[in-house]
């Protein structure tokens, strides 16, 4: 496995086109490992897997946790090596943004909903760095977790609308045995807060079980679970179509939630079949 930290090193190392990329901000956990394992499986023994590690300042708001976001390069590299990664790109801020960017990706109206209401400008920062990293790594496949479902949806839209020559591969959310979605921010939770955070998955699961009774029943079941833990402050609970448009009739849907547990903000989502 090779570690690169400049764009010149990356270009030299990818003279043979890498075939799969997994983009992260580091602080890797089993969810990231699942992305890397899926990438390794999809490209086969003769393909290449590239991991990018970069805490992207453009996607953090002025009151968010950019400075305290966990940076754990040594353990990240150990996980990458264990999952068969061929190349790690870990640029500095100045390397990826030598000048303050004056041109960024406009993510469209979906970016102003759900997460966008609480994190204005977030998805412009996400799509800008994803666009740059797709350009630099030139992969055939890029794998993203479904836990960040709105992000995944917007990346798919960007790739389609801008005719980027890459396949976006979604990978299901990885959870702890008790259902808590894996997140680098889980390490901020106290023991009590972690127990409280389990209500997010309970609410989503209750909504999914109520799918046979229609959208109103789904929302009512989820809200009943959330009301039982008032210390968890809900930013939003929403039921949307798979493309995050409005739900129209029976079929597949997606329920999304964001909440604050103590000082930590968590997101999660689940697929629901509406009857």
Ligand-binding annotation for 31, yes or no, is: yes
- Domain co-membership, 48 together with 145: yes
Does 178 map to a domain?
A: no
- Domain co-membership, 9 together with 109: yes
Q: Please report the sign of the dihedral spanned by the C-alpha atoms of residue 121, residue 122, residue 125, residue 131.
A: negative
User: Which residues, given as ranges, of the chain have pLDDT below 50?
Assistant: none
Candidates 32, 106, 122, 135; catalytic one: 32
32 is catalytic: yes
Dist CA 275 CA 255 (whole Å): 15
Residue 110 · residue 118 · CB < 8 Å = no
- For 78-97, the DSSP string reads HHHHHTT--EEE---HHHH-
Phi, psi of 176 (to 5 degrees): -70, 165
Ligand-binding annotation for 122, yes or no, is: no
- Domain co-membership, 47 together with 111: yes
* Structural domain total, the chain: 2
What pLDDT, on the 0 to 100 scale, is given for residue 14? 75
Q: Domain range for residue 207?
A: 186-274
What pLDDT, on the 0 to 100 scale, is given for residue 105? 98
Does 190 map to a domain?
A: yes
Ligand-binding annotation for 27, yes or no, is: yes
Ligand-binding annotation for 185, yes or no, is: yes
Dist CA 49 CA 142 (whole Å): 10
Q: What is the CATH number of the domain that holds 97?
A: 3.40.50.620
- Domain co-membership, 85 together with 198: no
Q: At what angle do helices 149-161 and 122-137 cross, to 10 degrees?
A: 60
Dist CA 160 CA 235 (whole Å): 30
- Domain co-membership, 120 together with 216: no
Which of 171, 197, 223 marks a domain boundary? 171
Residue 258 · residue 234 · CB < 8 Å = yes
Does 180 map to a domain?
A: no
Ligand-binding annotation for 28, yes or no, is: yes
Does 94 map to a domain?
A: yes
What pLDDT, on the 0 to 100 scale, is given for residue 272? 98
Q: What is the CATH number of the domain that holds 220?
A: 3.30.1300.10
- Domain co-membership, 100 together with 18: yes
Does 150 map to a domain?
A: yes
Does 181 map to a domain?
A: no
What pLDDT, on the 0 to 100 scale, is given for residue 121? 96
Residue 146: helix, strand or coil by DSSP? coil
What pLDDT, on the 0 to 100 scale, is given for residue 11? 83
CA angle, 201 then 260 then 187, to 5°: 80
pTM of the model: 0.94
Residue 53: helix, strand or coil by DSSP? strand
Which H or E run includes 271?
strand 264-274
Which of 143, 171, 199 marks a domain boundary? 171
Dist CA 57 CA 95 (whole Å): 13
- Domain co-membership, 106 together with 230: no
- Domain co-membership, 17 together with 144: yes
Residue 84 · residue 34 · CB < 8 Å = no
What pLDDT, on the 0 to 100 scale, is given for residue 12? 85
What pLDDT, on the 0 to 100 scale, is given for residue 166? 96
């Amino acid at each position: 496995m090779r570690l690169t930290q400049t764009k010149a090193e990356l270009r030299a190392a990818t003279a043979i086109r890498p075939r799969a990329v997994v983009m992260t901000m580091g602080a890797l956990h089993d969810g990231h490992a699942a992305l890397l394992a899926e990438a390794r499986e999809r490209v086969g023994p003769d393909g290449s897997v590239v991991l990018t590690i970069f805490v992207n300042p453009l996607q953090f708001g002025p009151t968010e946790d950019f400075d305290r976001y966990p940076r754990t390069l040594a353990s990240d590299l150990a996980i990458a090596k264990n999952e068969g990664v061929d190349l790690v790109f870990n640029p500095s801020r100045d390397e990826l943004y030598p000048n303050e960017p004056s041109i960024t990706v406009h993510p469209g109206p979906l970016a102003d909903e759900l997460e966008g209401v609480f994190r204005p400008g977030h998805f412009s920062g996400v799509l800008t760095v994803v666009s740059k990293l797709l350009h630099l790594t030139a992969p055939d496949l890029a794998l993203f977790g479904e836990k960040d479902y709105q992000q995944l949806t917007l990346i798919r839209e960007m790739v389609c609308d801008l005719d980027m020559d890459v396949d976006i591969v979604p990978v299901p959310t990885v959870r702890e045995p008790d259902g808590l979605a894996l997140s680098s921010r889980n390490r901020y939770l106290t023991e009590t807060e972690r127990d409280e955070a389990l209500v997010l998955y309970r609410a989503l699961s209750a909504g999914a079980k109520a799918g046979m009774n229609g959208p109103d029943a789904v929302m009512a079941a989820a809200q009943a679970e959330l009301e039982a833990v008032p210390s968890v402050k809900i930013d939003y609970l929403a039921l949307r179509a798979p493309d995050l448009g409005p739900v129209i009739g029976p079929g597949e849907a997606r329920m999304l939630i964001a909440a604050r547990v103590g000082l930590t903000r968590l997101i999660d989502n689940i697929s629901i079949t509406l009857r």
